[in-house]
Chains A and B, each alone.
Chain A
Amino acid sequence: MKNMKKLLALFLALALCASLLAGCSGNGSGDSQATESAATESAATESAATESAAAETSTEETSATESAATEESTEGAEIVAENVEAAVEYPAFNVGEVEANLGSSEGGEVNHTAFAGEAGKDYTDEAVYTLNDVMTATTSLNWNPLSWETSDDSMMMSYLTMGFYEFVLNENKDGWAIIPEMAADYPVDVTADYVGQFGVAEGETGKAWKIALNPDAVWEDGTPINADSYIYSYQNLLDPAQLNRRADSLYAGEAAIVGAKAYFYQGQEAFSPLGMTTSEYLANGSEEDLYLDPIGFWNAAGYVDAEGNEVPAYLPISDETIYSQDGTDAEDKDPFSAKSLYEEYFAPGMSYEDYAADYLGTVEGYPADASFDSVGILKTGDYELTFIFQAPISDPDYYVPYYLPMYLVKEDMYEALKVEQDGRISTTYGTSKDTTASYGPYKLDYFELDKQITFVRNDNWCGYKDGKHTGQYQADNVSIQVIDKHETQLLAFLNGEIDFVSLQQEDMEKYASSEYIRYEPQSYTTKLTFNTDESVLAERGTQVLGNLNFRKAFSLAIDRSTFAASYTAAGSAGYGMLNYMYVYDPFTGASYRNNDAAKAALCDLYGLTYGPDGDFDDVDEAYDAITGYDIEQAQQLMAIAYAQVTSDGTWDGTTPIKITLSVYQSDDIYVKMFNYLNDALKAACAGTGFEGKVELTMKADADYYETMYAGQTDMIFSTWGGSAYSPFTLLYECYCDAGINSDPNQMEYGFDSNAVEVTMTINGKEFTQSLQKWALWMDGDENTVLTSNDGSLTLEAFGNYDADTKCAIFAKVEYVYLANYVNTPIYYRNVGSLVSQKGDYAVDEYVDMVTFGGIRYYTFNYNDEEWAAAAGSLTY
């Protein structure tokens, strides 16, 4: 009997376990949530998707099978490269000819007719309509207009503020229109009125713009907003004692305001790079004025002198003070002095003289006690402002409204919240309900840290009374829940508690074909970024990554379509640095990636030929055929790489090579990505001398970007994106930024874009410059001047050329960058989201600049009462 009891107990226990386990596996989403939970952040943030993943899966599975078959067929076959030339770290490129034409500064025509909105459930409707949104955290949330930074901050601001001009849906709902909101009318060019002042020369246009302000604009408490309100805000934005995070938007970039930088840096000195060789500078200048950037050039951050003083940002070239890792002059502590660096590298005729453009410079002082009157933001009437830019704004109908800096804080509140400590002024403005003042369509009603944000209609917003917004802003309230976990967000969406949810890769099987899914392209490209610093790699035992053919072979072994479909929510295969989001002509919305020159660059990169002697009839056909995957060529290149690294002694041919891929975290999705890449690398090595000797290892590292910046890993996934309307600045700012006086943006450790020589023939003249210099010129750097090799032709500023010329030149340089394979694009990021049946966006397809119309045009199918009854029973 006793034994029977024991057996029964055991049976019951087992049955209980079994039923619990069965319960787990039966709950499809519950189980996957558990495993996904770790996948979250980076995979979620980096996940993407455009095409229907479900539709693609079968095709991609086939291609995956094919690639496996290829892999098997080469197994055992020794691929040996013969007559292999020695490896070259940075080959020179001659990229052919470009016919360059200057563009007109007039630009195209801007649409000013907005979609009025759907009549009906507007703010006069008595029923209550609430839009329920979600965000993952408020850790970085700050909606102080003078210091906001993130997209979440921007989202907060979109409810509380309004721009001088807004980009909204046009009347046909197929593009954008520009309409004045806080301005009363469109900008007027008044440059001629300021000749002789603020650096305006006779005959110049497009520099000074007068804006009539909306006289009906008021704060949420009814306090009027006039020109003085703006002047107060701009003055505080540039206040050197506050060091506001957005101050640079007035003095940096393409829309810098005259005098803003001098006001902000008053009483300080700033380093300005030469932008030319030492010889060129010394033709008119003096050595006494020259300074050197030791941190940018010598990577000397943290170096100290004998007394322990840290190396400053710039040093006079005559300075003989020794700086080193420990302040001594011991050889292994990397000692240097400014004088020794100058004489050894930068002096006329020395090997690195070209580098002087970036690392030598002059030091400019900004006078102390500057007056705000010297800043090009002027009150020219009680309801009128004039902005004077440092450089003329081209295509002004578009770019003046686009660039015009809009900053507004409520004076009495802002003054009351200022706190001074150690000479620095900080503020808690824009951090809670009590420290927030709205002048937009909604006002903050409730804010609970990391939990809940609620906006209610701001009845004092002038837009509700001007008759121009009748069909717009139909939501009475906006409620934003803070939910960190994606799984919880999805359940909340299905329960009807939130109206939008971003999807992850594992959701796509279920929701890819939902009629409520919306795809939003993003300007990000995710790439594999390689460490190519040979000395660092040698220490890590991964020196093969320094070989160009090895990296190229690895790239060709990756089937990007399979990768994007299998491991991202909505990503699409990525082949170039810039994806389809980048617009080179704002008036037509033409995408750089769809330009013939850009297509040709990628066809060249991946070896697809077209035309009479090519494999395809035209560039479009060839471009459409790009897969970036060619395992046979990958193996051939691996064989060449093997021959090169073993013959030049880079690698002994036997020591196993373990290449580290650092990823954000080691969750399920990253493990799958890693396994795919490891298999791809092994497939590329199959049949070559590398077979069985090279493999990837994965390392979870939440700081993996920092790790790569420090050169402490071999490769990472990196994602860069920029402003969709500034495609040509991306190359320098993300990929060739040497980090003058700062940490460099360039993540590809060891890649020296100054060492890559690029020759291009423009209008019949040959120009040979480093990749970095081309990139800097295209970034609009005023110090970078390109002169033909024979000295007979100097190019205009890049911005002065027409759109096609810009595309043609940029595409050739993009090709050179990609052909170095210091990173290899994998996929273009997109976001797939479900939108609840509670309401509808104005459009179902993404529209450039205005996405789906936003809350301005969102209309409701259910009011709150109806939704409470219906939500939860609806299917997606």
Chain B
Amino acid sequence: MGKYVIKRLILMVFTFLIILTMCFVLIKLLPLPAVKSMGRDVKLVLARREAMGYNKPILVQYGLYWKHLFQGDMGLGEQMYYGLEVVDVFFTKLPYSVVVNLYSILMAIPLGLLFGIYAALRKNHWQDHVVSTMVMLFISVPSYVWAFLVQYILCYKTGWFSLTVASRETTEFFSWAMFKSMFPAVLSLGIYTIAGLTRFTRAELSEVLTGDYLRLARTKGLTRSQAVVRHAMRNAMVPILPMILSEFIGILGGSLIIESVFAIPGIGALFVQSVNLRDYNFFMADTFFYTFIGLLSGLVIDLSYGFIDPRIKMGAR
């Protein structure tokens, strides 16, 4: 196991470097926006680009990127968040995305599991049909539709919640007021996760429940709930838990639409904007962070199989 982890970590470093290099080269291959500025001196813009080294060979630029990186400098925003430290922007926005997504998952996991188990246990009964219909509805309708419905009904019509997430100017980040203001966004985000988890849990558990060993357990005298909890759930969780883990990792990515609807200053749009606006520093900072998280999460998920089901040995021949 230890060997396996070390091997994976070494491979991770290589993969990380390859992805980073590829992304750097690819973004640099994209043409910069044409310089058009009515009545202005376009040479000034070109001079700025020259001074920032944009005209140097890409490999030289890549070398400079690493040089600055080793000095702890990821640069300032140029095309977006002009003059701001890229790292500062990133870590100012990240907490909003993380917290909203975290609340959403914490709400979605128990509900998703509960509905999934219930539907599996009541398979082909009307309860199962209701749950399955709701699941289809929640999965099929785009999340922004739910977001607008939630906002319109819970925030505007009833006035129970604020239309947008509160600012840190008016309340602490981890406060009831902030949580309350985040709830509509959390709910909008959670709907899809609840539905997904319900469907997955129902499918896995339904399959497990038909297993011979479960019938054996019942014939040996276990009650239905004992058989389900002790045997069926443990086996069903093997594919479910990695799914839950990946949901947790996904929270770092933010949500473009939900953040936009509820005015959450998160990082959902940062990556796309950095590509569209060709802000190299932001793009590379995002790439650096997400590549690292992505690779690490892959490792964690793989290792998690071994913890959930001791029969699965990572790295075993």
Chain A residues in contact with chain B, CB under 8 A? 5-6, 8-10, 12-13, 16-17, 20, 23-24, 27, 29-30, 33-34, 37, 138-142, 144, 147, 149, 243, 245, 247-248, 251-253, 270, 310, 421-424, 426-432, 446, 448-452, 454, 481-485, 487-488, 491-492, 494-495, 497, 702-703, 706, 709, 720, 722-723, 726, 729-730, 733-734, 741-745, 872
Contacts and interface: CB of A to CB of B under 8 A. Distances in A.
Given A431-B81, A745-B38, 10 more contacts: A6-B129, A27-B149, A30-B151, A140-B81, A149-B82, A245-B45, A432-B84, A448-B168, A497-B163, A722-B39
A30 B149 contact: yes
Contacts of B163: 488, 491-492, 495, 497
B82 A140 contact: yes
A134 to B, nearest CB: 9
Interface string B68-111: 10000100100011111100010011000000000000000000
B257 to A, nearest CB: 8
Contacts of A449: 81, 84, 89, 92-93, 265
Contacts of B93: 449-450
Top 10 closest A-B pairs, CB basis? A9-B126, A248-B41, A450-B265, A742-B42, A30-B152, A743-B34, A452-B167, A13-B133, A451-B265, A142-B82
B192 to A, nearest CB: 15
B156 A742 contact: no
A422 B155 contact: no
A140 B79 CA distance: 7
B164 interface: yes
Contact of B263 (A428, A488, A741): A488
B43 A741 contact: yes
Nearest to A10: B129
Nearest to A153: B82
A140 B44 contact: no
Contacts of A5: 125-126
Contacts of B31: 706
Nearest to B37: A745
Interface string B143-168: 01100110111011001000110011
B76 A451 contact: no
Nearest to B126: A9
Interface stretch (B49-57, B235-243, B292-300): B49-57
Interface in B1-42: 31, 33-42
Contact of A487 (B38, B148, B159, B273): B148
B41 A34 contact: no
A448 B80 contact: no
Contacts of A138: 81
Contacts of B159: 495, 872
B48 A243 contact: yes
Given A449-B89, A451-B167, A723-B39, A427 B83 contact: yes
16 contacts: A23-B149, A23-B153, A37-B144, A37-B261, A245-B45, A248-B40, A252-B41, A424-B52, A431-B83, A449-B89, A488-B261, A488-B263, A495-B156, A495-B163, A706-B34, A729-B38
A34 B144 CA distance: 7
B152 A29 contact: yes
A860 B164 CA distance: 25
Contacts of A488: 151, 163-164, 261-263
A12 B164 contact: no
B82 A482 contact: no
Among A12, A449, A722, max chain B CB count under 10 A is at: A449
A296 to B, nearest CB: 11
A455 to B, nearest CB: 12
A492 B164 contact: yes
Given A144-B83, A481-B263, A37 B148 contact: yes
Nearest to A427: B83
Contacts of B89: 449
B51 to A, nearest CB: 5
Given A703-B276, A722-B38, A243 B47 contact: yes
B222 interface: no
B127 interface: yes
A875 B143 CA distance: 30
A421 B73 CA distance: 10
A744 B40 CA distance: 12
Contacts of A270: 43
A722 B39 CA distance: 9
Contacts of A494: 156
B46 interface: yes
A247 B44 contact: yes
Interface centre among A243, A427, A720 (most CB of B within 10 A): A243
A162 to B, nearest CB: 23
Given A147-B83, A454-B169, A252 B127 contact: no
B245 interface: no
Most A CB contacts (10 A, CB to CB) among B31, B73, B126 go to B126
A423 B51 CA distance: 8
Nearest to B78: A426
B273 A139 contact: yes
A9 B125 contact: yes
B229 to A, nearest CB: 26
A444 to B, nearest CB: 12
Contact of B51 (A243, A429, A723): A243
A774 B105 CA distance: 65
Interface string B250-294: 000000010011110100000001001100000000000000000
Nearest to A6: B126
A497 B163 CA distance: 9
A428 B144 contact: no
Contact of B42 (A24, A454, A497, A743): A743
Contacts of B129: 6, 9-10, 13
B130 interface: yes
B306 to A, nearest CB: 41
B152 A33 contact: yes
A235 to B, nearest CB: 17
Contacts of B44: 243, 245, 247-248
B33 A706 contact: yes
Given A13-B130, A424-B52, A451 B84 contact: no
B137 interface: yes
